[in-house]
Amino acid sequence: KVDLASIMAVGKRPKGLAVTVFVNWLVKPFSMALFAWLFFRHIFSPWINSAEADQYIAGAIILAAAPCTAMVFVWSYLVDGDPAYTLVQVSLNDLMMLFLFAPIVRFLVSGASSLEVPFLVLLYSVVVFIAIPLAAGTLLRRWFISRHGREWFEQQLLPRFAPVSMTALLATLVLIFGFQADNLTGKSLHVGLIAVPILIQVYFNSSLTYALMRLLKVPFAVAAPGALIGAS
């Protein structure tokens, strides 16, 4: 669904995109680093040792520095959002991830914990999980549209893949929880503790995004999905 060409429409309605980019890249990773450091290093220190705190801080930062794209279209649909604008927001975030994810994660992880994430590992992750799928999707999208037209692509082909993408997402979640079953059951207290700063940052960033959108008089159909994207 991601259409990089849609980014050319950014200048037509820039307010919603500006707020989303501001929160996603200048607020969320840093607020998550702050909340994670505060809770794991200090408030939860009686239950979490120093080595575990470093790992949890790093994990929280990596989570916050990668805006979600898989569920954004679902969220937009649930809040009756503007699907065309959501497409632009997702496309822009995907493009920015190529350049901002690795340096932000490296900077925050090394600053908030004693861990050092090799830059090459982050770079390879960006290439394998973002750049290659994004490039492949863009090329396939252009090929299908050139062969069959945009109307056929959007009205006939994309709906066929909707169940596939949802099934793949659910399968990924099942695999993640399956491989981490021992940690989830053996460290259930830690799972609960980890959820606290993550929930706080989700509510903080979604509220901040929506408040800024309303302050700038952005329509609800853009503000509501933007708030969910800003917190994802």
DSSP 22-79: HIIIIIHHHHHHHHHHHIIIIITTTTS-HHHHHHHHHHHHHHHTS---TTHHHHHHHT
Question: What pTM does this model have?
Answer: 0.81
pLDDT band at 71 (very low <50, low <70, confident <90, very high): confident
The two three-digit tokens of residue 90, written as one number: 């997702």
Greater pLDDT, 197 or 177: 197
- CB-based contacts of 216, cutoff 8 Å, min separation 6: 15, 19
Q: What mean pLDDT is predicted for residues 50-61?
A: 92
Q: How far is CA 73 from the centre of its chain?
A: 12
Q: Report whether pLDDT(34) > 90.
A: yes
* Dihedral sign of CA atoms 199, 165, 154, 94 in order: positive
The rounded distance, in Å, linking the Cα atoms of 41 and 170 is: 33
The two three-digit tokens of residue 149, written as one number: 């037209």
- Per-residue pLDDT reduced to its tens digit, 141-155: 888 888 888 788 777
Maximum distance among all Cα pairs of the chain, rounded to whole angstroms: 62
Q: Report whether pLDDT(15) > 60.
A: yes
The rounded distance, in Å, linking the Cα atoms of 226 and 205 is: 11
The rounded distance, in Å, linking the Cα atoms of 55 and 117 is: 11
- Per-residue pLDDT reduced to its tens digit, 136-192: 877 888 888 888 887 887 778 777 776 776 787 788 878 888 887 887 788 889 999
pLDDT of res. 10 = 57
Q: What is the DSSP string of 80-116?
A: T--HHHHHHHHHHHHHHHHHHHHHHHHHHHHHHSS--
pLDDT of res. 122 = 77
The rounded distance, in Å, linking the Cα atoms of 42 and 48 is: 9
How many helices (H) and strands (E) would you count in the chain?
12, 0
pLDDT band at 193 (very low <50, low <70, confident <90, very high): very high
Question: Which amino acid is located at 141 in the chain?
Answer: R
Question: Which amino acid is located at 115 in the chain?
Answer: L
pLDDT band at 204 (very low <50, low <70, confident <90, very high): very high
Q: Report whether pLDDT(24) > 80.
A: yes
| CATH 3.40.718.10 corresponds to the domain 4-146+190-231 | no
- The pLDDT > 70 percentage for the chain reads 94
Q: What mean pLDDT is predicted for residues 60-85?
A: 82
DSSP state of 216: T
Cα-trace Rg, the chain: 19
pLDDT of res. 203 = 94
Q: What mean pLDDT is predicted for residues 183-209?
A: 91
